[in-house]
Amino acid sequence: MNTTARSLVAALALALGTAFTAPAFAAPKAPAAAAAPAAVSDAALVKTLPGFQEGFADVNGVRLHYVAGGSGSPVVLLPGWPETWWAFHKIMPALARHHRVISVDLRGMGASSMPAGGYDKKTMAADIEALVRHLGYDKATVIGHDIGSQVAYAYAANFPQATDKLVLIDVPHPDQSLYSWPILPQAGTFGDKIDDAHPFAWWFAFHQVKGLPEQLLEGRQYLEQEWFFRYLLKDEGAIDARDRAVYRKAYASRAAIRAGNAWYQAFPQDILDDKTYGTLTMPVLAIGGPGYGWLQAVLTPKTTNLKLVKAEGSGHFVAEEKPAETTAWIEDFLN
């Protein structure tokens, strides 16, 4: 590593605080499952979900990868950063008992293509609408988490006629309120675990930087992921060694880091688009862990048929930390 690269890594470690210098991160261990890359391939993962198959669709100028199973009315699952379609694997089999479940790698994610642009949520929603039509459906229930939740909201706002019901997990669509988020945490509120009353989403700003994250993190993205999982999980075992190996592999390349950052770099455009959206009139279920208050504040004035659920004891990754409860909430909402 040359002097410049060492300086950049040191600067990042300083900016992110002690999480990168504490003993647990001083000599990071590769997740156990990473020793066998084939075990975390999409093909291998799909085999663990009986009745599911993977597919690809060329729609809206991109190639989308998805995993589908079950029969009945379509339910489209949209994951977020830093995950892939696998984020919903704990709830997919149960939902597939009564629905055709389709978990999608978004534009820039996993095995889907990673174009130079189109990472605003309006364009990504158009990707999903085109996929729904490609699969032969006029409308679908769309369920999103994190970035996927933002895409799901944009889908409902832009294609209400193609939206049966909408489920948003822990994150709403970007709106003007993001401009008031602090650049510094309040004293005593920022540690290894999120303070639900004082969340500090520093990565929203870090991912705005173009080029530098790729240089710093290529082949080392799992360092950021491990910190992120530690901070936002109440039960760190809910995303296990195999899961972490899946996400480590998915975001290891420079192209994948660039694409993932682009979802965040599109927030200013997303905020402009949000100002043009009307009120959502379809049934909306919002499930919140640490993001419950954020969901409530953003969605209450923008929906006419909103049900809010607090996932008690859960961190950000609700579908992994509380899969039985998440499945029950969704099934009750869909019935």
What are 102's strand-pairing partners? Answer: 68, 76
By the 8 A CB rule, do 271 and 176 touch? yes
Angle at 80 between CA 211 and CA 231, to 5 degrees: 85
In the block, tokens 């605003």 appear at: 120
Catalytic residue, chosen from 146, 243, 273, 274, is 146
Catalytic annotation present for 134: no
Residue 101: which of 128, 126, 72 has the closest Cα?
Answer: 72
| Beta-carbon count within 10 A of 1 CB | 8
| 282 burial level (CB within 10 Å; 0-12, 13-18, 19+) | middle
The pair of structure tokens assigned to 179 is 């401009």
Catalytic annotation present for 146: yes
Measured distance CA(245)–CA(133) in Å, rounded: 33
The pair of structure tokens assigned to 199 is 């969340």
What are 75's strand-pairing partners? Answer: 101, 141
Calculate the CA 38 to chain-centre distance: 23
What are 286's strand-pairing partners? Answer: 168, 308
Catalytic residue, chosen from 264, 270, 274, 292, is 264
Catalytic annotation present for 192: no
Q: Is 41 helix (H, G, I), strand (E, B) or coil?
A: coil
Measured distance CA(212)–CA(23) in Å, rounded: 25
The pair of structure tokens assigned to 173 is 């669509």
Q: Where are the alpha helices (DSSP H) in 27-117?
A: 42-47, 92-95
Question: Alpha-carbon torsion 215, 151, 74, 70, what sign?
Answer: positive
The catalytic residues are 146, 264, 316
